[in-house]
A and B are shown apart, each in its own frame.
Chain A
């Protein structure tokens, strides 16, 4: 090591080693380098330094775009910022006037906590270059009876050909969202609107299925649906709901739509709008079911929490979209009904599968196609099924179990629980990088032994995280996560290394005995019990 150190030391052959600073200030940096420094500043600090000198102002404005927030002030300010790119009009109380200075440059326009009046359309008519439009807690002051305001309201539509993103946020739905969407639908024409995002504390429940009807008729539908329908050619994404879990729809490019490979069944037809992604939060509504019968190109489907009575519909969706489906999530509560995984058999693109149904046994794991990378199972899974995961899903990258619940039959043998042998079998999956059991009680997992064994194998290539919850001031174990590095050598690992465990004479089982043991576990659904 010592010699290595010496060899790499920069050897000074000739140099004058004085430590003098040339007088090169910040002005000696190129604009690009100065911008790198400014990138470390936060937005407000970056704005603050604009008055330092012309060059700094230019760098800030050109590299980061000039952002202004006009807050509770008079209209004179609107005429003072001729280069603003990102403008927020906040808490204004006066009607907007035309002749705004940033109309030519503004790209992002935000209306926040504001009562906009009937001349909003005229105001926006001047800002024809905007690409994003945000309304946050905006109330529209509807035209009143006088002729002047009526005149503005009736004027011809305004074109915003470059607008790509529209976001409407409102604390309370009834207050503003409807009005804003109605105005945007009635008075504006968008040529390239790609994204609509509507977030509210009390989001409306939309009859989404209307958009997917064989011959959609939206004349009397909610104006949000009308707005969607009007812009369906350019739209790629629609979000609606609460901020942290909205419903997300991603529309498939019209040229990418593939016709269904199998003949259409009864009530099935290909809707004009084909979804690429459909994420339903928090739960799937019964009346949306017809929508699912019209979709044949879904890549990512998160059906949210769904009633057991709709499981048949969901199975049909999986089969209909089996050639494109890559990611599937289902949640909800069942009452002992069984989820049959053989439905995924023909999904040859499926890489991520989350079955989050509590109180429901899942079976036929061995029929899940082998290319699966991520699997998350919520609720009870029998040992036998877990074993078939270990035997079949050889490409798994991450495997998570949560709320494994009580899979042991009351009074049955103790090793009905997940045991060391099973954990070992899972760890032997050649590509597995993450194995996690979360919120699983000791009824379903032999925690003591497994945790001890996992601690003993922890090292450079395996990282162990243990999860506890507090009960009566004591830490109770309810989970653990193993992160396995890609360097982990499964072939060379000593799987049979014994761990001394107090009070149990148990030695680790070999795979042979495990196999024999497996056959002895017969999972009988009729005796399946729930806590």
Chain B
């Protein structure tokens, strides 16, 4: 089986099948570029991802492996609360996968999924962050995401006033 070496920013190398790697848009282009430039068609491509560290890259590959065979999501995972999740393509496996992660890891995964062009992973991670925003007040969001207000003077007050139509309901 054709393999490819994917190397993380901190030098860890992962040996994965090209079939799996090609499920990432970015790796697919990289492999094709390598094919074109290389004379030896048997040579094993080596791709260096300078922006993603090993820990995160491992998670992305793990996710890709889990989802390697599903163009569509497995809908039968859980009957009782499957409906909302099915829309997002989030399976029980995905939830278990994301559950132990703190927001920092999730952010890095978003970055990685976006960089490697892995649509499904980007969707579930973005959705996870979205769920941390929806239904919370501005102050709660600031605490959750460790953000500070950087408005000057009455700018913040004014922004809040502009929002009156959606907040007061």
Contact = CB atoms under 8 A, between A and B. Distances in A.
Nearest to A8: B17
B12 A13 contact: yes
A77 interface: yes
A19 B158 CA distance: 42
A44 B168 CA distance: 11
Contacts of A27: 147
Interface stretch (B24-32, B54-62, B77-85): B54-62
Interface string B18-50: 011000000000000000000000000000000
B159 to A, nearest CB: 4
Given A25-B107, A68-B162, A8 B147 contact: no
A516 interface: no
B15 A25 contact: no
B165 A10 contact: no
B130 A15 contact: no
Given A36-B122, A45-B134, A53 B147 contact: yes
B13 interface: yes
Interface in A1-51: 7-30, 32-33, 36-45, 47-51
A57 interface: yes
Main secondary structure of the interface of B (DSSP, over half): helix
Interface string B113-131: 0100000001000110110
Given A13-B13, A24-B107, A25-B145, A80 B166 contact: no
Given A15-B12, A48-B138, A10 B105 contact: no
B104 interface: yes
Interface residues of B, number: 60
Nearest to A76: B161
Contact of B165 (A23, A56, A71): A71
Contacts of A33: 110-111, 114
B142 interface: yes
Interface in A132-153: none
A29 B111 contact: yes
B13 A14 contact: yes
A29 B107 contact: yes
Interface string B72-116: 000000000000000000000000000001111101101100100
A69 interface: yes
Residue of A12, A14, A15 most packed against chain B (CB within 10 A): A15
A52 to B, nearest CB: 5
Nearest to B19: A8
Contacts of B135: 45
A18 to B, nearest CB: 7
B54 A48 contact: no
A29 B110 contact: yes
Contact of B20 (A8, A24, A28, A88): A8
Contacts of A54: 150-151, 155
Nearest to B88: A40
Contacts of B105: 21
B14 A11 contact: yes
B155 to A, nearest CB: 8
Interface residues of A, number: 58
A25 B133 contact: no
Residue of B14, B20, B148, B165 most packed against chain A (CB within 10 A): B165
B141 A49 contact: yes
A70 interface: yes
A91 to B, nearest CB: 11
A68 B134 contact: no
A81 interface: yes
Contacts of B147: 25-27, 52-53, 56
A73 to B, nearest CB: 8
A178 B55 CA distance: 66
A41 B11 contact: no
Nearest to B17: A8
B65 A8 contact: yes
Nearest to B160: A51
Given A15-B8, A33-B110, A40-B130, A47 B163 contact: yes
A10 B62 contact: yes
Contact of A48 (B16, B107, B166): B166
A29 B106 CA distance: 11
Given A24-B108, A53-B149, A80-B161, A10 B11 contact: no
Nearest to A16: B54
A525 to B, nearest CB: 50
A421 B55 CA distance: 63
B10 to A, nearest CB: 8
Contacts of A50: 159, 162-163
Given A15-B54, A21-B105, 13 more contacts: A8-B16, A10-B65, A11-B15, A16-B12, A28-B111, A43-B166, A47-B163, A50-B162, A52-B138, A52-B147, A52-B149, A56-B147, A81-B162
Going nearest first, the 8 A-B pairs with the smallest beta carbon separation are A15-B12, A40-B130, A69-B165, A21-B104, A44-B166, A10-B61, A15-B54, A11-B15
19 contacts: A8-B1, A10-B58, A12-B14, A15-B13, A15-B58, A21-B101, A21-B102, A23-B104, A24-B108, A25-B147, A33-B111, A36-B126, A37-B130, A47-B163, A51-B151, A69-B166, A71-B165, A80-B158, A81-B162
